Amino acid sequence: MPFSSLIGQDRARGALRSALARATLHHAYLFGGPAGVGKATLARLVAQAANCEGGPLLAPPEGEGGTGGGKPAARDPCERCGPCRKIARGTHPDVLLVSEERVMARAGRYEPKAGRTPSRDIVVDQVRDLIDGALALKRFEGRWRFVILDPADAMNVQAQNALLKTLEEPPEQTTLVLVSAKPELLLPTVRSRCAQVAFAPLDPAVVAERLRAEGRSAEEARLAASLSGGSLGWALAQDPRTLAAREAAVAAAALLDPDDAASWIAFARDRGEDRESARECLELLEVYLRDVLVAQAGSPVGLALEDLAPRSRAAAAALAPEEVLRRLEGVRAASAALKQNAAPVLALEHMLIGWFHGAR
């Protein structure tokens, strides 16, 4: 996989390729940003590029796009040599992957001490094993050793504290990469010892383009991308049929009759059956109402929910923009209430009462 396959993260990729090329790799990085935007992919690419046997580390002066200005950049890993293949499989002895105790135990890569039930955390025993085990030894075969902690925020406080000294003074030719979708959960003392690399949510258009390249229809790609919050990983994991069913639910909400209270109570019961489906319904309603605003503004930008375009255009003509904004606020308030553990049915009902009866 070439560096260019990592889409939409030009700054993060450029910084790491340039550090590889100049041999100025930091001893500890914190890759922070939403799930599914390429953090773990870049960590693996960097480990491969640093250990690849397939030729010089530097790309030709022109390089390929993405790093800009003819700066030196690491060339792509070859993907064929022993180190590249082992790193892709997760079996390279100098590229160590640390994840939650439970996940590693299930994969047969870690056994909790004294028959303890493995936890959801990265625990202090794992960190001590790493420091007193692999990191205390010489490198086996690699040019540069990597420790990839993913998700780093799964480290409990003791585990983080046990890692501090190593973050400050790691063994020679060793880089630690902390990967996290919630870097704010890490101790400030851990964060401050890492070079922080920020990953941004992807542009929905970029997500849609990649989904098209994966063989999704234009319709599916647009719908999944508009709901993805910029996470390609999320969009790729969605079943198109489920997405279509969710879209039908929004269509139903758009058609609710303000004077038929029984129909919207039924809607709230139906969509509020569980927290997750209520959350998804609210997310879609938000996208739909944004479409209504886009249609009202006469914007040349396409609507996110193309299937619902006739409905959103009709709503755009029927409702005043302030009314659409008010409903949008209602959706956001319901989402916020749901996050704070409100009962899903009540959150939806309250939202609909607000929509149709102006209650706050």
The correct pick among 1, 58, 81, 265 for binding Zn ion (CB under 5 A) is 81
| Shortest CB 76 distance to Zn ion, Å | 9
Of 78 and 195, the one with the shorter C-beta distance to Zn ion is 78
CB 344 within 8 A of CB 272: yes
Task: Please choose, out of 33-41, 80-88, 212-220, 254-262, the segment that lies near Zn ion by the rule CB under 5 A.
Answer: 80-88
Task: Please choose, out of 14-22, 83-91, 157-165, 300-308, the segment that lies near Zn ion by the rule CB under 5 A.
Answer: 83-91
What is the SS3 string spanning 74-115?
ECCCCCCCHHHHHHHHCCCCCEEEECCHHHHHHCCCCCCHHH
| Shortest CB 83 distance to Zn ion, Å | 6
- The helix/strand/coil state of 122 is strand
Of 84 and 281, the one with the shorter C-beta distance to Zn ion is 84
- The helix/strand/coil state of 177 is strand
| Shortest CB 41 distance to Zn ion, Å | 16
Of 52 and 282, the one with the shorter C-beta distance to Zn ion is 52
Beta sheet of 95-98, edge-to-edge order: 95-98, 145-149, 174-180, 28-32, 195-198
Could you tell me how many residues of this chain bind Zn ion (CB under 5 A)? 6
CB 45 within 8 A of CB 179: no
CB 174 within 8 A of CB 135: yes
| Shortest CB 43 distance to Zn ion, Å | 16
Round to whole Å and give the CA distance between 337 and 155. 29
| 324-328 own/partner pairs: CB under 8 Å, 24+ apart | 324/289, 324/292, 324/293, 324/296, 325/293, 326/354, 326/355, 327/289, 327/354, 327/355, 328/286, 328/289, 328/290, 328/293
| Shortest CB 143 distance to Zn ion, Å | 11
Give the single-character DSSP code of 35. Answer: T
Of 77 and 151, the one with the shorter C-beta distance to Zn ion is 77
Of 86 and 193, the one with the shorter C-beta distance to Zn ion is 86
| Shortest CB 95 distance to Zn ion, Å | 13
The correct pick among 1, 57, 58, 78 for binding Zn ion (CB under 5 A) is 78
Round to whole Å and give the CA distance between 179 and 33. 9
The interface mask with Zn ion, positions 58-77, x = CB under 5 A, is -------------------x
The correct pick among 1, 14, 35, 54 for binding Zn ion (CB under 5 A) is 54
Locate 225 and state its tokens: 């991308």
Of 84 and 97, the one with the shorter C-beta distance to Zn ion is 84
| Shortest CB 52 distance to Zn ion, Å | 3
Residues 6+ apart with CB under 8 A from 164: 189, 190, 193
- The helix/strand/coil state of 55 is coil
Name beta bridge partners: 155.
122
The correct pick among 47, 52, 186, 225 for binding Zn ion (CB under 5 A) is 52
| Shortest CB 142 distance to Zn ion, Å | 12
Considering Cα of 340, then 346, then 349, then 350, what sign does the dihedral take? negative
Task: Please choose, out of 30-38, 53-61, 236-244, 347-355, the segment that lies near Zn ion by the rule CB under 5 A.
Answer: 53-61
| Shortest CB 88 distance to Zn ion, Å | 10
Locate 56 and state its tokens: 């010089």
Of 15 and 84, the one with the shorter C-beta distance to Zn ion is 84
Residues 6+ apart with CB under 8 A from 270: none
| Shortest CB 79 distance to Zn ion, Å | 6
Of 84 and 342, the one with the shorter C-beta distance to Zn ion is 84
Residue 88 interacts with Zn ion (CB under 5 A)? no
Interacting residue ranges for Zn ion, rule: CB under 5 A: 52, 54, 77-78, 81, 84
